[in-house]
Amino acid sequence: VVACFLKNANKVMLFQRSGKVGQYKNYWAGISGFLGKNEIPLDRAEREVEEETGLIPPDAIPVLEGRPLAVHDGNKKWLVHPFLFEVRSPKEITLDKEHTAFEPVVPDKITEYKILPGLLDAYRRVDIPDTLIKRLELLRTDRKSGSAELAMEAVEILLFAAHAME
């Protein structure tokens, strides 16, 4: 399956699954969908976001694909392909029949909802810490440092990112 997390500013959108879905009725989740045989996960992710929210680029842009993870829930096993999408305006979201509501949530509050098994682990694979974003922006706009200093800062940012995204 694909699990798509839509983020705007510092909040991630959680979607409440309707009573019309086959599994996990009324649970909170990202946008998700089953992968077909030989289907490319990013293609499915983009299609699910459009179908379930009405958002298309540039209103929802994929920014990160996380490492897939195995999720076990009783007898069910899922291979989850997590994706992060940046959303221009959550006000543009139009829910389909698979969801009854959505809420922008500060990531630290995700566990306060009745969420799908493995959802938090999937989100952590695509969560970009604000500190990392700020450091990258400082590096991008630095016009005073020399090439060696910029290269050292880039290496430090990569090490920070590798540790933060473990």
pTM tops 0.85: no
The Cα 71–Cα 92 span in angstroms is: 31
Band of residue 127 on the pLDDT scale cut at 50, 70, 90: confident
- Residue 30: which of 8, 2, 58 has the closest Cα? 2
139-151: pLDDT as tens digits: 988 999 999 999 9
31-88: pLDDT as tens digits: 999 999 999 999 999 999 999 999 999 999 999 899 999 999 989 999 999 999 999 8
The Cα 39–Cα 106 span in angstroms is: 32
The Cα 100–Cα 20 span in angstroms is: 10
Cβ neighbours around 116 below 10 Å, total: 22
Answer positive or negative: Cα dihedral of 29, 31, 35, 38. negative
Helices (H), the chain: 41-53, 119-124, 130-141, 147-164
